[in-house]
Amino acid sequence: MQIFVDADACPVVDIVEAIAEKYNIPTTLLRDTNHVLYSDYSEVIVVGAGADAVDYKLISICHKGDIVVSQDYGVAAMALGKGAYAINQSGKWYTNENIDRMLMERHLNKKARRGSTKNHIKGRTMSGGHRLCADRSGSGDLRKRTNEDDERFAQSFEKLVLMAQAKEGEQNGTV
């Protein structure tokens, strides 16, 4: 098992690495040439800056039983299709049971935005480098990421790691 992180503007890289190191799981951070990222623990793969280049590279190297961290529903869907686990930066697990609904909601929201004259926030960071996350009220608004958000992600991610390790052990006959 390995962990792969779509690390472009990912606010939970440090948490992922801490838990990966705790359980001695190899981790790969993927970024494009427009982002700067270094790591003492993880392998860092730099991919060209083309649209979705990081996404395609990540999917090409992940395998069944790996864990993918991404906020992109499309990446999550492809990871699930390969038998990998997927989680977003809020700690929500993508599953075969919820991914179709999430993709449909994304499609409908994109369609609604095309027909709207409202201005939308495109980025995920505010001036001053504050990290942002989706408002849990369901409004779709962005707000500053809190310590509680990080704790929620850490708990959910560690639970996913332990579950994935247990399943891997069952499949290998070591449990």
pLDDT of 82-112, one tens digit each?
999 999 999 999 998 877 777 777 667 777 8
Is the pTM higher than 0.75? The answer reads yes
Cα distances (angstroms) measured from residue 116 to each of 91, 112, 113, 119, 152: 30, 6, 5, 8, 33
Closest by CA position to 31, among listed 8, 52, 60: 8
Beta strand ranges found along 40-153 (DSSP E): 43-47, 67-69, 85-87, 93-94, 132-134, 142-144
What pLDDT sits at residue 49?
82
Q: Are strands 142-144 and 132-134 parallel, antiparallel or unpaired?
A: antiparallel
Greatest Cα pair distance, the chain, in angstroms, is 57
What pLDDT sits at residue 21?
98
In this prediction, residues 13-28 reach a mean pLDDT of: 98
| Residue pair 25/88 in contact by the 8 Å Cβ criterion | no
Cα distances (angstroms) measured from residue 149 to each of 5, 12, 134: 18, 10, 10
- Which tokens go with 167? 């399943």
pLDDT of 32-56, one tens digit each?
999 889 999 999 999 998 889 999 9
Closest by CA position to 68, among listed 101, 22, 40, 27: 27
Domains present along the chain, CATH in parentheses? 3-172 (3.40.50)
